[in-house]
Structure 1
Amino acid sequence: MGKMGHRYSSFISVLLLVAQALAGLSAASIENGNPLDVSSREPQPKVPDYVIKHAPLLWLHPEDPFRPSDLLEHVRRTTPMSAHKPIPDVPELNLDNLAVLNTAKGGPGALASKDNVTAIPSWLLGEMPDEKGILHNSTACVVLLIEKSPEITDVFYWYFYSYNRGANITWVVEPFNRIFGAHPPSFHFGDHVGDWEHNMIRFKNGEPTGLFYSQHDGGASFDWNDHTVSKKDGIRPFAYSAYGSHANYVTEGEHIHNVVLIDWCKAGHLWDPVGSAFFYRYDPKSSTFTSLHREGSNDPALAKSDSFIYYKGLWGDEKYPDANPDQATVPYFGLKRFVSGPTGPVMKALIRNGLGPNGGAKRSWPEWIVGVFMFWYPCCIRGWRKYMSLMLFALCLMLVGFGGYRFVVKKRLERQKYSKLETEIPLEELERENANR
């Protein structure tokens, strides 16, 4: 064999040795649970332990038919619409591509139900947690971490339901429950497809300092050590999900919201939202979400389904037009039976100074007027008291009028005590007269 043959043989030998070495490295890596990654992908960051340790537990109302719902199933049961018309040229939607609606023609639009919701199709009902509070066929929670500083981290626990049932005549305080007219108790107003609620816990160096409960247009904030906040083993706070609306409260019982509406909370079925959840870290500067892996679990974050979290549209139908036979209006106040669904977490107030959204919820002028009325109603307006109140009001007007009359008469009498001089005396003459004295 010539020199060329030796060189070729040596080259082949070297290749074989390299191949054997790589094979050995790959086998060793697989045995250690770290398969060789030719893309050099960075390992998925993990969920901090304190996020799970102090995660809220929810008490669902025992009679509420609308349970936590699977996000993917919800998307599959809806159609992207804009101005009540289908958005064209979009692929079959799932959690991995939902954000394409943000840039679609007419997007981001709304996820409108394919079914008539008045028939309450089964997918609107969600899933009942088991006796340990775990959902086995649904992922209805999204956890977002926002690092405000090296010491402070806000953790949002978002809960999803496919349907929100609004108030009916029995959920309105007296006397405004009379505005329903002929509508029966089965009539609800403020219903909508899709429902996002949340708790937010602020951590300092991994220790909780305060938490927020979302409630309709606002919510309530509490110090972590507030005795009002009940906790399991002193570690995980409880939240009570209101019947139908799913607003979160710190205690069970009756709660008034929006001045005259009632929410009902009761410890029925326990739900552990982080038992099946998506976890992300949010960077406000770049407006990006990074998927996090919960160690020791087979959570769906491993699938890296992160497109849905960027979706900016409505997670339910747009408000039905008045021409829709299923739509109805409450007299006097113009409240609608069906309203628009909510936007998702990305469109909420994620950056906060305090525990609640910056600025808080602002009352509309009708709510302000109703609030003033309700302040006086229990003591002065209800039942026979209204006649006494009218008499008292008339008496006050009489006293004010009499006092005003006395004031005017007094002023006139005071002016009549002085008489005007008919002759004007020049100032120079007065000074000269004083000098001669």
Structure 2
Amino acid sequence: MRRSGRRCFYAIIAIALAYIIISGVISRFTKGRHQDPIFDLENKDWVASSGSWADRAACNYFGICGAFHLFTRTHGGQIPNALPSTNNHSEYWSSGRPGDWSEEEKQLREIPQYIFDHAPYVHLSSREQFWPTDLAEHLTHTSPHLGYEMILEEHSNGSTILHELNEIAGGLGGHNVYLASNDDLSQWPSWLTGATNIPGPGNVRLDVTDTPDGPPAKPTLRHHQELRKRALKSSSETSERQLREVPSGRSTAPAFLIVVPKEDGIVDAFWFFFYSFNHAQKVINIQFGNHIGDWEHTLIRFRNGKPQYVSLSEHHFGAAYAWDAIEKYLPTDDGAMVGTRSNETATELAKRPVVYSAVGSHAMYATPGHHPYILPWDLLHDDTDRGPLWDPTLNLHSYTYDLQTIRASTRNPSTPTGWFDFAGRWGDKYFKLSDPRQYRFAGQYHYMNGPYGPKAKFLNRKEPCQGPGIKKCQIKEWVGDERPKRLHSSNSDQN
């Protein structure tokens, strides 16, 4: 049995290595046929940055770049617990300038109550090490760079006028501007972990049963109060007058709500969540896709005030579900969260969907459990569970957006908007090959570019599905192992 397992393991490694080498050779002989000329020019400089002839040759001919870096200590070991921040970031979030708004302007900034009534809950992973981050704190630990070169200090890294960085000469309208870390990431600086922003446990408990598509409901996080699991004896024990919101699940890192009204009575509510670091998953114990800064979101689409669909960000793609398919939580009088999958009363009354953030990558899913993606044989996967419960409505900056102008909502009139118009990346440019922390196999980087912000997340989409190149948007009417009833399909134009 052991020999069979070892043979299978070695076979997978051999196939993976063969794929890396073959793809590298193919890339070598098809170079320039399908790639952007600017990328070809940058890649030439990137490879040339290595001081090793052997490394440059392996990179050019086989697509194996920085292999020797795998045997070099590239991080500081154990990820530390973050110390409480000594900076007061509240001033940043009250630095906007509300005007003397007319009634018409107030209406443009007003967010309907039904959007808050149907706000999502987010289960962070119980194994998470990189938690939500206050965007203002992230800015104090980063500096704007034009590619790899720091921009003059007159452009403050903590400025409320980040949109001015879009006008930097040579910045390609801001797209070549990066907010690079001021600290050595190999030492895991404490601000990167966001450990002080774990949602407060309060008195919240989960009254949900284990489902076939997920792990046990009980999380194991030390920082989070152990969630008591209790099944209701009868759904009749919970009455509507006993229900109330509970002040639990607040994170000191704010969430962001951007409401986009559209035609035919459609209103899209984008709930954005920011993390200072994306800790990538491993393929055969090798990491691809680490990056500074991480934006994730959940879209809830309404038509005429009624929720219709939920779309979740998952890496370069996503998943969209009919409203009735998504699990929802119902807070009760004694502070418990009752799940719609295990309680009939909750199914009738619950309004707020629950989504799950994957450990490390923070990709969002509709269920707890194991989520393979892209590669076969489960080589690459995300994991989610019922870890700390985050209620984004308890610390929120909300805005309205007509696809031209971003406006602070009437709920937080002094919150700044300059960060939204920043067209650059919220992290470093992918590290050079000369950096001992960097390697690239088959075109996949260990440390890749930081992400663009919410403005680049296809807020103008006509269908709930996200991302470029999506020709057909499929709306699932089930999650997990539930039997599909029917499948919505419609053409999507997100240009």
AA matched with 2:386: A
1:265 corresponds to which residue? 384
Displacement of 1:334 after TM fit? 3.6
Tell me the TM-score normalised to structure 1 length: 0.64
Deviations 1:127-156 (A, max 9, x none): 1110111023x22x2211111126111111
Q: How does 1:179-198 map to 2 (within 5 A)?
A: 185=285, 187-198=286-297
**Contact 1:95–1:306 (CA<8 Å) still a contact in 2?**
no
Does residue 335 of structure 2 align to residue 238 of structure 1?
no
**Contact 1:160–1:197 (CA<8 Å) still a contact in 2?**
yes
Pair member with larger Rg: 1
Does residue 312 of structure 2 align to residue 201 of structure 1?
no
**Contact 1:203–1:209 (CA<8 Å) still a contact in 2?**
yes
**Contact 1:328–1:337 (CA<8 Å) still a contact in 2?**
yes
Displacement of 1:89 after TM fit? 5.3
> Out of 90, 94, 103, which is 2:154 matched to?
90
Q: How does 1:25-36 map to 2 (within 5 A)?
A: none
Q: How does 1:169-318 map to 2 (within 5 A)?
A: 169=283, 177=284, 185=285, 187-226=286-325, 229-233=326-330, 234-260=350-376, 261-284=380-403, 287-294=404-411, 301-318=412-429
Displacement of 1:231 after TM fit? 0.3
**Contact 1:87–1:106 (CA<8 Å) still a contact in 2?**
no
Closer, same or farther: CA 111–359 of 1 in aligned 2, 3 Å? closer
Unaligned runs of 5+ in 1: 1-38, 170-176, 178-184, 295-300, 363-437
Cα RMSD, aligned residues only: 1.8
Closer, same or farther: CA 360–272 of 1 in aligned 2, 3 Å? farther
> Out of 135, 160, 165, which is 2:251 matched to?
135
Structure 1 Cα separation of the partners of residues 401 and 323 of structure 2? 23
2:280 corresponds to which residue? 166
AA matched with 1:42: S
Deviations 1:22-61 (A, max 9, x none): xxxxxxxxxxxxxxxxx74437533211111111111000
Greater relative contact order (CA < 8 Å, ≥ 6 in sequence): 2
Which structure 1 residue ranges, 4+ long, deviate > 6 Å from structure 2?
none
Deviations 1:204-228 (A, max 9, x none): 11110111011000010100012xx
Tell me the TM-score normalised to structure 2 length: 0.57
**Contact 1:87–1:105 (CA<8 Å) still a contact in 2?**
no
Structure 2 Cα separation of the partners of residues 61 and 40 of structure 1? 44
Structure 2 Cα separation of the partners of residues 111 and 158 of structure 1? 19
Closer, same or farther: CA 359–318 of 1 in aligned 2, 3 Å? closer
Deviations 1:244-269 (A, max 9, x none): 00000000111011234100111110
Structure 1 Cα separation of the partners of residues 159 and 353 of structure 2? 30
AA matched with 2:261: E
- The count of aligned residue pairs is 295
Displacement of 1:274 after TM fit? 2.4
Closer, same or farther: CA 345–119 of 1 in aligned 2, 3 Å? same
**Contact 1:95–1:305 (CA<8 Å) still a contact in 2?**
no
Structure 2 Cα separation of the partners of residues 51 and 274 of structure 1? 10
Structure 2 Cα separation of the partners of residues 259 and 122 of structure 1? 32
AA matched with 2:382: D
Unaligned runs of 5+ in 2: 1-98, 202-247, 331-349, 472-495
